Chains A and B, each alone.
Chain A
């Protein structure tokens, strides 16, 4: 049970949460026009007359946006609809040039599906997907240039979006966080969205309500729009759920409203209510006939799908012997998984995983670099593990070699060779050192024999030091125990 329980004065409350995620579709041109989707161009440079809502302009649908949505739908284990249709959502806003958004309403391109999430306690949970539909993004209003004016840039207007709606299946902030990370991983694997929440290419609306444990049905929910990081989503759920409990317990009622999450204060506040503002008057888009996809079209995409994180994870557990937790951490990021697979090839995969998740990630963090910029190649990481497995060097030496690799990018074999770091496994040579240490430290030998057996570590250390770290620690340990009785 991973659900979050809020202990109130009147009893225990559970959190109910659903997410709506807008993912910008990766495509060269916009969903309904031939203008570029390039991020960071000059103001209003990537704008067609269609995007600007000029009189008489008509939309035409980008094939890539359709196939990307189908791919994503398949990645969400969802039903792809052979028939879908576009609708207009009518509202006035400065960055919505047509005065309506072309979206899908009654007939989305993707229906129900699910995403499996892994929780830290090792449990998994299926989060239901309600639907995925495609639509156009709005432009950008810039409010902070002038106190009396707003500035409008339409470069983003018309970029394709996938809106993914989950079922209200989340029972804790942790679950929502795990889902978002998983979703981001899936779209990145598929190459359908870059998943960057801080750049706004993935944006999240959060719906939260609470109910008494054991209560049926749902209470009124509040929506928080455009929460732009996984951490903020989790904080927003937590704050909002606690607020609801407080309101109910002090005799109040929750009103359905849209609220804004403030990341600085970690609180939410109601947005200005506009009377009737939410009557969107959806109706079928008369400029676009229905979208009909053949089974063949869908199957072609299906046959072309890359291996998704879940399948990869399962394979890593089954074939490479990773623990489910390690496998899911490694598989969250496609590049990491690929790096790992390359590094582990022909070597002890579990040990490679340990190195990867330990020293290797620490090294990247410390250097503040990405995986692609790593000085240590996958092959070299694998080779280092191999040197340890074959007892060429011991674990401690390996750490030193790793540090040199991180600094120079050299192959571990070369480092070991050049620096003479091969470990001594010759029992006779080690025995000589052991004997010397025991002879020089009679007092401690006596103490050990009198029962202070934890001195063994000290003896090991002395031997290692004397051998400049090259002695095989296992052999050292064994000999010491023999000789100390």
Chain B
């Protein structure tokens, strides 16, 4: 008899289910028990245990009759940015309090189709705007690795990363606009991948910055990420930016020889004052891959330093427009006013949190008459240069290896982060340029720092070449031997 079913990866649990070692209902109940146990982490904002059990029962019947999808009977957590039919979806914003979508996002529909059941909706930074989960209207998530002081789980998919780390779900969905899957995965010692822009349909995912948003999984290891991504991804005619590229079976490349694979190390990422522990893990990771036959090449991404500024123009600009629909008219929270305009302003002022308002206003400003060329257009031009840097770099290498974040998880309410939004934004320094270029990138844990907190490495691939990312990621995972929480 297993001691704790929630310790199992998806691959292990699926095998156990097939061998009838336990049932899908038992597996789901084990996760539900863990959700109760770790409720203090505040990872879930809406729990749907009854639904999960009901789905698990259906899954068990399928398993019994030898049918079922790749995720049959697997209990997942869903970032509360994915619309789920009949289940409250809030983007962790007061403005969407009480909103129950009458439709299902394509990604969650794909997961249900593959046999998964949903334990509930996971906490995030309000509208995915933040890097610490502190902007959530439901309050911050506590990083399961916290010791004396409660630490942030990272963001925006903080609830997802924390829930996976604390075994409150087998895996979770995340979304990544500037690092929102990778950075929390790194902070919580779990694995996450943001696929190429266009891989996963954005239909039914509450939009933050449409040209950057991508869904991806956060899971216990590289293999589970491969299983999850295959189920989530795929062409969707409801999303005009969804790609028609066929989705390969990512599991097939896991464990493949990386001999001769060229690993790019961008010199510009060795920023001044880079945390020495992170720098040394970076070197170690490169050495591990080299040991397995990879070739390490230095590459240059000269416009890296401008990526954050570009990101903090483009993302807020798109957000200011995407969030215009939240006006208290057709759904969500309404604060009345004498006239329509008063109602709009009252509802939005009461409904949005500080960081969201800040980004709406910045976005509005950079698009407004007289400033568009200086900010928005300029940012789009530099965005092209950033993407071209990658295209050029990939002539010399197959994947790129960098740290995921410039630090380990920090304390909730950290003063320097609170005081200056830019300090908080700097957390995205290693992740945003990848988002701007639309490339796939994975974060996986590499080891612990002197405080015993996990650190992550990022592997970036060419457009639609997740396979090499998985290949290198799996190899590094094996070499690093990181022990999950």
Residues of A within 8 A of B (CB): 49, 52-61, 88, 90, 92, 94, 97-100, 150, 152, 279, 281-283, 286-289
* Shortest beta-carbon distance from A99 to chain B in Å: 2
- The chain A residue with its CB closest to the CB of B204 is A56
A90 contacts B240, CB within 8 Å? Answer: no
A97 contacts B330, CB within 8 Å? Answer: yes
Q: How far is the CA of A287 from the CA of B207 in the complex (A)?
A: 10
Residues of B within 8 A of A57 (CB): 103, 203-204
B325 contacts A97, CB within 8 Å? Answer: yes
The 3 A-B residue pairs with the shortest CB-CB distance, nearest first, are A99-B324, A286-B210, A281-B367
In the complex, which residues 306-330 of chain B have their Cβ closer than 8 Å to any Cβ of chain A? 317-318, 320-321, 323-325, 327, 329-330
Q: How far is the CA of A279 from the CA of B372 in the complex (A)?
A: 11
Q: How far is the CA of A49 from the CA of B241 in the complex (A)?
A: 18
B325 contacts A53, CB within 8 Å? Answer: yes
In the complex, which residues 296-355 of chain B have their Cβ closer than 8 Å to any Cβ of chain A? 317-318, 320-321, 323-325, 327, 329-331, 340-341, 344
CB-defined A-B contacts under 8 Å, sample of 25: A53-B325, A53-B330, A54-B101, A55-B89, A55-B96, A55-B99, A56-B202, A56-B203, A56-B204, A56-B205, A58-B202, A58-B203, A58-B240, A61-B240, A92-B324, A92-B341, A94-B329, A97-B329, A98-B325, A99-B325, A152-B329, A281-B368, A282-B367, A283-B376, A286-B318
Residues of B within 8 A of A286 (CB): 209-211, 241, 318
Interface size on B, residues (CB 8 A): 44
Instruction: List 9 other contacts, CB 8 Å, given A55-B325, A99-B321.
Output: A55-B91, A55-B99, A56-B203, A56-B206, A88-B321, A92-B324, A152-B329, A281-B367, A286-B241
Residues of A within 8 A of B91 (CB): 55
B101 contacts A281, CB within 8 Å? Answer: no
State the main secondary structure of chain A at its contact with B.
loop
Residues of A within 8 A of B66 (CB): none
Interface membership of B149, Cβ < 8 A: no
Interface string of B189-229 (1 = CB under 8 A from A): 00000000000001111110111000000000000000000
Interface membership of B252, Cβ < 8 A: no
Interface membership of B246, Cβ < 8 A: no
Contact of A100 among B102, B202, B205, B321 (CB under 8 A): B321
Residues of A within 8 A of B101 (CB): 54-56
Interface membership of B1, Cβ < 8 A: no
Residues of A within 8 A of B210 (CB): 286-287
A281 contacts B83, CB within 8 Å? Answer: no
Given the known inter-chain contacts A55-B206, A289-B241, please indicate yes or no for A92 contacting B344, CB distance below 8 A. yes
Residues of B within 8 A of A288 (CB): 240-241
- The chain B residue with its CB closest to the CB of A60 is B240
* Shortest beta-carbon distance from B235 to chain A in Å: 13
B368 contacts A279, CB within 8 Å? Answer: yes
Interface membership of B364, Cβ < 8 A: yes
Q: How far is the CA of A83 from the CA of B361 in the complex (A)?
A: 32
Interface string of B442-457 (1 = CB under 8 A from A): 0000000000000000
* Shortest beta-carbon distance from A413 to chain B in Å: 61
Interface membership of B105, Cβ < 8 A: yes
Given the known inter-chain contacts A92-B341, A286-B210, A287-B241, please indicate yes or no for A56 contacting B321, CB distance below 8 A. no
B331 contacts A289, CB within 8 Å? Answer: no
A60 contacts B237, CB within 8 Å? Answer: yes
